[in-house]
Structure 1
Amino acid sequence: MSGQLPDKDIIQDRAVHGLPVTNDEVSHIASAESELTGTGPIKGGKAATAQSVHDKQQNFLEKAGDVARKPAEQITKEDAAEVQKAEARLIGGQPEKGSMSANLQSAADKNQQ
Structure 2
Amino acid sequence: MESELPHKEQLVAESTEGYPITQAKASSIAQAEHDMTGREPIKGGPAAIAQSLHDRQQNFYEVAGEIARKPSEEVTKEDAAKVQHFELTCAQARALGHEPGKASFSAEVQAIADHNAQMRHVDD
What range describes the TM-score normalised by the shorter chain of this pair?
over 0.9
Distance in 2 separating the partners of 1:70 and 1:95: 21
1:9 aligns with 2:9: yes
Structure 1, residues 58-94: CA drift from partner, whole Å, max 9, x if none?
0000000000000111110000100100000102141
The total of aligned residue pairs comes to 111
Is there any run of 5+ residues in structure 2 with no aligned partner, and where?
119-124
The equivalent residue for 2:115 is 110
Percent same amino acid among aligned pairs?
50
Q: In structure 1, what is the Cα distance between the partners aligned to 2:113 and 2:15?
A: 25
Moved over 4 A (4+): none
CA distance in 2, matches of 1:63, 1:105: 14
Gaps of 5+ in 1: none
Shift of 1:40: 2.0
> How much does 1:98 deviate?
0.7
Q: CA RMSD in A?
A: 1.1
Counterpart of 2:122 in structure 1 is none
**Paired residue for 1:29?**
29
TM, length-normalised to structure 1: 0.93
Structure 2 length normalisation: TM-score? 0.85
- C-alpha distance after superposition, 1:6-28 (max 9, x if no partner): 11111112222221111111111
Question: Hey, which of these two has a bigger chunk of helix by percent?
Answer: 2
Note the 1:23-102 alignment, pairs <5 A: 23-90=23-90, 91=92, 92=94, 93-102=98-107
For 2:78 and 2:71, the matched residues in 1 are separated by 15
Cα deviation, residue 50, structure 1: 0.2
Deviation, structure 1 residue 97: 1.5
Larger Rg: 2
